[in-house]
Structure 1
Amino acid sequence: MAERVALVVGAGGPLGQSVVEKLVAAGYRVAGADRRKDGLETLPSEVVRIPGDATDPEAARRIVETAVSELGTPSVLVNTIGTYGMGDALSATPEQLRLMMDVNLGPALWLAQAAVPHMQAAGGGSIAFVSSRWGAEAEAGVAAYSLSKAALNHLVVVLNHELRGSGIRVNAVAPQLIDTPLNRSFLPADVLAHATAPDAIADQLVHLVTDAGAPVSGAILPAYGF
């Protein structure tokens, strides 16, 4: 991919920030987007910072258009936005399901809709999302969350079929649990003992979207930790 431009959405969180730093180190010109301006302030100084909430389709479009205007067409799009919620299927509420779908599925679709036409015009690109083990393996107690991640997995496969002919690759990394300050605030130590560091997940995302991952498209990469 000739244009080494990347857009990372959710760049203000621990995982997104790690992806940004690794892409900068790999020689990419990077735009980072997040709804939290304080998170954007921690990014490297050379990164273009774009405030915006990609759960809103119009905001997602503005994020992409700003990145294109500031840096040129991104050859790489990484979306790290996500949320987590516990609760079984029989007690799930419309509000819980809507939140999980709006945050875990919506931005991936809206950002793809906005970015893909630019990538197609440029001759190709690579997209990566963050899924979850529970999107592929059923587990009690995380019904709405796992449904939203299963839908995200299906979106990866659908986009792979629709875009393969245009030179655009679409993949996802599926952690079981990421070791973040938020997760540490409510999960017990025995659970966190098996969590994966954000840097380790970021390494897999960067591998998939850069030339090293060129043979791979339509994959949900397990990154479950030990």
Structure 2
Amino acid sequence: MAVALVTGAGQGIGRATALRLSVAGHRVALVGRDPAKLDAVAAELAGEALCVPADLTDAGAPDHVFGAVEREWGAVGVLVANAGTGLAAPLVETTDELWRTMLEVNLTAPFRCIRRAVPGMTAQGWGRVVVVASVVAKRGERQVAAYSASKHGVLGLVRAAADELARTGVTVNAVCPGYVDTPMTDATVATMGERLGKDPAQARALLARRQPIGRLIDPDEVAAAVLACVDNAAITGQGINVDGGTVQS
């Protein structure tokens, strides 16, 4: 089994993915900003865990994180670039700061992690990169121009990297969730409620109804798609929808 590194591992999709990777027999390095959350997830894992607190918007963070894992366990074979953030604003109220934040967290940080991971993967002739993108990597959506642009960008990065690495034994994919029942969605619910004059339960129901299945996606359902990309060498260059039928492709 491989050495796996999961970013944004302290909660939500990252936590669910780390649990699945651990059950599958992988060593799992947990990366995130909150050491206490990482420790809590590590205690849940079935096998070995390594916690590496880091802020991936720092340009030097990938070298620090990968170096720590390599010193302990060797080269990373599975990278799950899950860390992300979402902020909403009308286009004309989207500030330069909001724009930069979306690009730094959702596009530049995954790029730096992939760039750092690839040499070790190609050297061993095997590797799996999975980026957690979004359903809005495939369509535009009102109020989230910056978020949508960052996720479109990261899907383009995935496709280009997959083509470049196709004959090296390294696959590169994205999973594209809809609205998932995570703390990040809780923040979206709060913002929606304030804007629309709804209580949290009403705002959450509105989000659920945006998906044809009529409910939020469970984080473990996204994690299952991540594991499918890890297990299947013939899947590369894909953006796999986990969105309850929102985008049919």
* TM-score (normalizing by structure 2): 0.85
Q: Measured at CA, do residues 182 and 131 of structure 1 come closer, stay the same or move farther in structure 2, by a change above 3 Å?
A: closer
CA distance in 2, matches of 1:144, 1:220: 19
Alignment of 1:15-164 (within 5 A): 15-45=13-43, 46-164=48-166
Q: Residue 42 of structure 2 aligns to a residue in which SS?
A: coil
Say if 1:61 and 1:110, in contact at 8 Å, map to a contact too.
Answer: no
| 1:13 maps onto 2:11 in alignment | yes
| 1:215 maps onto 2:215 in alignment | no
Say if 1:179 and 1:192, in contact at 8 Å, map to a contact too.
Answer: no
Further displaced range: 182-191 or 52-61: 182-191
CA distance in 2, matches of 1:57, 1:112: 13
Identity fraction in percent: 34
CA distance in 1, matches of 2:221, 2:134: 15
- Size of the aligned set, in residue pairs, is 222
1:196 pairs, out of 217, 221, 232, with 217
Further displaced range: 107-116 or 161-170: 161-170
**Could you list the per-position Cα deviations for residues 118-138 of structure 1 after superposition, in whole angstroms to 9, with x for gaps in the alignment?**
111111201000111111112
Say if 2:84 and 2:106, in contact at 8 Å, map to a contact too.
Answer: yes
Say if 2:107 and 2:154, in contact at 8 Å, map to a contact too.
Answer: yes
2:198 corresponds in structure 1 to none
Further displaced range: 186-195 or 28-37: 186-195
Say if 2:173 and 2:237, in contact at 8 Å, map to a contact too.
Answer: yes
Residue 192 of structure 1 and its aligned partner are, at CA, apart by 4.1
CA distance in 1, matches of 2:216, 2:233: 28
Residue 165 of structure 1 and its aligned partner are, at CA, apart by 2.3
Further displaced range: 186-195 or 96-105: 186-195
The letter of the residue matching 1:196 is I
Say if 1:87 and 1:141, in contact at 8 Å, map to a contact too.
Answer: yes
**Could you list the per-position Cα deviations for residues 155-213 of structure 1 after superposition, in whole angstroms to 9, with x for gaps in the alignment?**
0011112211222100000011111134235411213433211111111111112x2x2
1:206 corresponds in structure 2 to 227
Residue 99 of structure 1 and its aligned partner are, at CA, apart by 0.4
